[in-house]
Amino acid sequence: MSDIDTRLAELGLVLPEPAAPVAAYVPVMLAGNVAHVSGQLPFIDGQLVTGRLGEDVELERGIVAAQACGVMILAQLKAALGSLDRVEQIVKLGGFVNSVGSFTDQPKVINGASELMMAVFGDAGRHARSAVGVPVLPLGAAVEVDAVVSVKPV
């Protein structure tokens, strides 16, 4: 078992099967030693978390949804890299929150993904980030998160 797999087990996290793309793109694109992970949607127990923050999704559910996006980012990285031990640094997360115009807690929502990366990778999980409110996301998802990750060469 790899170091990161051990850490995931300690956190009680099981990575799901990586989600298939819903359009014309690839889940992860490696460019040199940088992995660009396409936006991941929040699946919990196989069900997509849909809705809008500030309307029909509570803050706590949004945070859990962002964490689920982070878990899917990890699943995509493991599939692309073979092992999460190849992750050198989470460089940046981009967070998109389906929210009403008056909702201003997008940073709190995306903390679900950010705190997951730090819990899994320690200092290598610290990253730059955006947290943006949007009026709609693909498939009606409540949250979407993408990532830029520095990887160790093979």
First to last CA, the chain: 18
Q: What is the mean pLDDT of residues 14-37?
A: 96
Task: Return all residues near 116 (Cβ < 8 A) that are at least 6 apart.
Answer: 67, 70, 71, 74, 125
Fold of the 3-151 domain: 60s Ribosomal Protein L30; Chain: A; (3.30.1330)
* Encoded tokens for 78: 């493991």
> What pLDDT digit, counting tens, does each position of 82-95 carry?
999 999 999 999 99
> What pLDDT digit, counting tens, does each position of 5-23 carry?
999 999 999 999 999 998 9
> What pLDDT digit, counting tens, does each position of 54-64 carry?
999 999 999 99
Neighbours of 20 (CB within 10 A): 6
Give the model's confidence band at 126: pLDDT under 50 very low, under 70 low, under 90 confident, else very high.
Answer: very high
